[in-house]
Structure 1
Amino acid sequence: MTEGYVAINWNEVEDAIDKATWEKLTEQFWLDTRIPLSNDLDDWRKMTEEEHYLVGHVFGGLTLLDTLQSQDGMASLKRSVRTQHEEAVLNNIEFMESVHAKSYSSIFETLNTPAEIDEIFSWTNTNDFLQYKAQRINQIYQTGDDLQKKVASVFLETFLFYSGFYTPLWYLGHNKLNNVAEIIKLILRDESVHGTYIGYKFQLGFNELTEDQQSEMKMWMYDLLLDLYNNEEQYTKHLYDGIGWTESVLTFLRYNANKALMNLGQDPLFPDGAEDVNPIVMNGISTTTSNHDFFSQVGNGYRLGQVEVMEDGDYNIGLD
């Protein structure tokens, strides 16, 4: 008799981190449709055309990267799972990356005209620096080995997103676009768990390598990070030179590049720490959400889980 199909049994979990991550991700489930983005229109009308351009295009870039994660990233990681429960967690992450990508369209629909939305997506799909990082990561998803794919995923989620996250966090720190920032904080909360979890799975495999293999992997990893950073530097200048934020954004990027390496169990590369990051942006990260009663319209009074205050030490939420 051939071997039968194996049902997933959550009462017998091989790796407790799988269960802990599943529970954390499901507890913090959210949808963009529950956040009153139209409440930000007053702020939006007072902003300059240059600010409108920046906000629209950083969110266009984030849409592309979340699309990559949902369409190719998690599918590539699912080919090398250690447990059935890990695949279930990756299924959850894959869906939430689609929610993230859709959330930006909700922001566009609220703030932008149809012509502006068309221009944003045209720019997103043709910008050389944005396309380079998407294609560089996707190349690894398609042709890299199992550990390289995990590195690419962590670099994307804990590093490359942050050139876009800087903008809404800056406005949040200035008490503007608070509902847009609410979505970004929910996405940040998700990405913190995603990066920590996939980094943990990387470390399990990395620790099984020989010393020579580990050295080779480290060299590849740091070379990739420097390549991505060099491109990100040009992308950041392209977006932020006009508004004068470039150097501050690059500091934020280097700080988060170090966070990505730490998720992978590696030593930081850059000297930048939390104390070097624009305190307004760090304050934006550390502020609790408004905790809107998202479900009151349907009468059940259920509140979405509140985003916790995030200090520097738990900026990437750990999985104990």
Structure 2
Amino acid sequence: MSLKHKVINWDKIEDELDDYVWDKATSQFWLDTRVPISNDLADWRDLSAVEQEIIKKVVGGLALLDTLQSEEGVNAMREDVRTHKEAAIMNNFLFMETIHAKSYGTILTSLNSIKSINEIYDWMNNDERMQYKVKRINDIYKTGNALQKKIASIFLEGVLYYSNFFAPLWYRGSNKLSNLAELIKLIIRDESVHGTYLGYKFRLTYNELPEEDQEELNSWMYELLEDLMENELAYTEEIYSPIGMVDDVKTFVRYNANKSLQNMGFLAYYENADLDDVNPIVMNGISIETANHDFFSQVGAGYLMGNAETMLDEDYDF
């Protein structure tokens, strides 16, 4: 007996947030090729070799993580959608994760030699800490249930990315590498939508579970978080020790871990990791408004179609 395939009725509201997120996600569309990263070459050349190496590693690390998300993560979660429009939204997320992964390549090729780029790709494909993140998350994508996969994705995008986001945002807050940071801010804006939407969908299914199953899932989730954070904080020490920013990055990661938990409806887990505890230069880097970009004269650092408006704390939540 053949199965019927049902058309999406875009006029039917199955979940009001689906319509909001579809409009939000599609209105934010952007392309990496329209942000002139090469305009940062003067700033790039002013950085020390150590600083350049850190930027290359954090950008390379992001490329690896977003490659996982675009090739495995979104597809894994797409199997568990609750509505037709949710499937369409996941298609959008998948495409944008591919744009994100490509954007990191654009950053690397715009600022570095081929030899240097190959060295970074070799590093990210073999670094023990980076590979641990990828394997741990991908194992859940392949074997976890619907809620476990959402938790893994939210922790990937909402926690593990942020140690790597820190450096570009810090330099932007210090009035350096503005175009590079522009791409990062566009990606952060996308990821904030992804994380809050998935957190909302997680909570809908979570609330349907018996209390015993909720408690079992909670234990699994916090064990996963602590395991990921142990690796993440060790990674932070390896990357940021040369420039003395380890403590600031750890606070930023813990802050975003709390935000990720809150997106799923849980209380903050880490103490001394509120917004006021985050390095103000980094928050300045997030909040600096972009200029509209003129693609004909290549004046400005922003993106006209997908204006990267000022990021506020509440932008992490719907």
- Tell me, yes or no, whether TM beats 0.5: yes
Q: Is the 8 A contact 1:295 1:303 kept in 2?
A: no
Q: State the match for 1:195 in structure 2.
A: 195
Give the secondary structure class of the aligned counterpart of 1:242. helix
Give the secondary structure class of the aligned counterpart of 1:241. helix
Shift of residue 313, structure 1, vs aligned partner: 2.8
Given residue 190 of structure 1, which amino acid in structure 2 is its aligned partner?
D
- CA deviations over 1:18-53 (Å, ceiling 9, x no partner): 111111010010000001111101101111100110
Q: State the match for 2:277 in structure 1.
A: 276
Which stretches in structure 2 are left out of the alignment for 5+ residues? none
- The whole-number CA distance in structure 2 between the counterparts of 1:101 and 1:242 is 26
Q: Is the 8 A contact 1:293 1:304 kept in 2?
A: no
How has the CA–CA distance of structure 1 residues 17 and 295 changed in structure 2, closer, same or farther, with 3 Å as cutoff? farther
- The whole-number CA distance in structure 1 between the counterparts of 2:145 and 2:217 is 11
- The whole-number CA distance in structure 2 between the counterparts of 1:213 and 1:294 is 53
Give the secondary structure class of the aligned counterpart of 1:40. helix
- CA deviations over 1:166-204 (Å, ceiling 9, x no partner): 000000001000000000000000000000001111000
How has the CA–CA distance of structure 1 residues 114 and 3 changed in structure 2, closer, same or farther, with 3 Å as cutoff? closer
Shift of residue 2, structure 1, vs aligned partner: 4.3
Q: Is the 8 A contact 1:147 1:202 kept in 2?
A: yes
Does residue 306 of structure 1 match 2:307? yes
Does residue 239 of structure 1 match 2:239? yes
Does residue 47 of structure 1 match 2:47? yes
- CA deviations over 1:86-115 (Å, ceiling 9, x no partner): 111000000100000000111111100000
Q: State the match for 1:142 in structure 2.
A: 142
Q: State the match for 1:101 in structure 2.
A: 101
- CA deviations over 1:201-258 (Å, ceiling 9, x no partner): 1000100011111111111111110100000011111101111111110000000000
Does residue 162 of structure 1 match 2:169? no
- The whole-number CA distance in structure 1 between the counterparts of 2:92 and 2:155 is 19
Q: Is the 8 A contact 1:13 1:85 kept in 2?
A: no
Q: State the match for 1:37 in structure 2.
A: 37
Within 5 Å, which residues of 2 pair with 1:1-320? 2-271=2-271, 272-294=273-295, 303-314=304-315, 316-318=316-318
- The whole-number CA distance in structure 1 between the counterparts of 2:312 and 2:103 is 25
Given residue 291 of structure 1, which amino acid in structure 2 is its aligned partner?
N
- The whole-number CA distance in structure 2 between the counterparts of 1:26 and 1:295 is 24
Given residue 293 of structure 1, which amino acid in structure 2 is its aligned partner?
D
How has the CA–CA distance of structure 1 residues 211 and 41 changed in structure 2, closer, same or farther, with 3 Å as cutoff? same
Q: Is the 8 A contact 1:34 1:295 kept in 2?
A: no
Given residue 313 of structure 1, which amino acid in structure 2 is its aligned partner?
E
Given residue 224 of structure 2, which amino acid in structure 1 is its aligned partner?
L
Shift of residue 305, structure 1, vs aligned partner: 2.8
Shift of residue 291, structure 1, vs aligned partner: 2.2
Q: Is the 8 A contact 2:263 2:317 kept in 1?
A: no
Given residue 305 of structure 1, which amino acid in structure 2 is its aligned partner?
G
Which stretches in structure 1 are left out of the alignment for 5+ residues? none
Given residue 283 of structure 2, which amino acid in structure 1 is its aligned partner?
M
Give the secondary structure class of the aligned counterpart of 2:12. coil
- CA deviations over 1:253-288 (Å, ceiling 9, x no partner): 000000000011111110110111100001111111
Q: Is the 8 A contact 2:39 2:179 kept in 1?
A: yes
Shift of residue 317, structure 1, vs aligned partner: 4.1
Given residue 156 of structure 2, which amino acid in structure 1 is its aligned partner?
L
CA-atom RMSD, angstroms? 1.4
Shift of residue 311, structure 1, vs aligned partner: 2.0
Percent identical: 54
